[in-house]
Amino acid sequence: MEKYIAKLVDWIEEQVKEANAQGTVFGLSGGVDSSVVAAICKRAHPKQSLGVIMPCYSEPMDEEHALLVADSLCLQFKTILLDDVFDLMLQKFGNDSEVEHNDLSVANIKPRLRMTCLYFYAARHNYLVVGSSNRSELEVGYFTKHGDGAVDIMPLAGLTKGQVTEMAHVLDIPREILEKPPSGGLWPGQTDEAEMGVTYKQLDKFLLTGQGEAKVRETVKKMNKKSQHKRKIPPVPRFTFE
């Protein structure tokens, strides 16, 4: 795993150099994936890596854990509270009493606001936006289109959730983060596994071996097919104007 981490660090350095950029910026959610991204980016660019904590009606514990990561890595960070921006957008869309925060059309506003923040700092500092999506999430489309899926590079895209967690142990990510249930922070009490309908252990087993219970295989294949549009660039006409 240490060798793989070293390769990832080199890869990030190469991507930044090829883009004529100066460093990296990424969201700090207080979760395992973003913590691992923060750790490897800090190794790649010790003085030019920026973590951005962006609470949006988030669990207070998530911000505490994000700060814990920033402190443990001696990482430069900024905190941008997005509650009021989120409220304003709901007001613009209509009476916010008519919508529930666990409605995905509403909940997905949050990662899209965070994407806007990250690209602001990326443009300001000439940094690349680094995503934290892993292979497990990408395969089933468990990310927000033009939200946390809108990034410049995805260093964890070749690793399942379990492999990212293994990497987190090697990187000495704080125990509090390793032990809490994975969550996208879309609404209070939301967890990845409850929303997907399969556990990461089941999902990873299927991705790595092709084996699993019939219900798991069916669920994963269905989610993969339904989310194909998220992994493709927008279709364009193949015919020309004459």
- In the chain, the domains with their CATH numbers are 2-231 (3.40.50.620)
In this model, does residue 196 exceed pLDDT 80?
yes
Tell me the average pLDDT across 13-32.
97
| pTM as predicted | 0.92
Tens digits of residue pLDDT in 48-97: 999 999 999 999 999 999 999 999 999 999 999 999 999 999 888 875 55
Rg (CA), the chain: 18
In degrees rounded to 5, what are phi and psi of residue 27?
A: -80, 145
Average pLDDT over residues 9-25: 98
pLDDT of the residue at 95:
59
Q: Please compute the mean of the pLDDT values over residues 122-141 and round it to a whole number.
A: 97
pLDDT of residue 191: 83
Q: Which band of pLDDT confidence, cut at 50, 70 and 90, is reported for residue 239?
A: very high
Give the sheet arrangement for strand 127-129, strand by strand.
76-79, 49-53, 23-27, 127-129
- Comparing 43 with 99, the larger pLDDT belongs to 43
Predicted local distance difference test score (pLDDT) of residue 189: 75
pLDDT band at residue 98 using 50, 70 and 90 as cut-offs = low
**Token pair recorded at residue 134:** 């892993």
**pLDDT on residue 200:** 92
Mean pLDDT, residues 204-232: 94
Question: What is the mean predicted confidence (pLDDT) over 176-200?
Answer: 83
Question: For 91-110, what is the mean pLDDT?
Answer: 76
Question: What share of the chain in percent tops pLDDT 70?
Answer: 97
Check if the beta carbon of residue 134 is closer than 8 Å to that of residue 198: no
DSSP 96: G
The CA distance from 212 to 215, in Å, is: 8
Contacts 24+ apart (CB under 8 A), 59-67: 59/183, 59/185, 59/188, 61/30, 61/180, 62/29, 62/30, 62/31, 62/183, 62/185, 63/30, 64/30, 65/30, 65/31, 65/35, 65/174, 65/176, 65/177, 65/180, 66/28, 66/29, 66/30, 66/34
Residue 76 Cα to chain centre, angstroms: 19
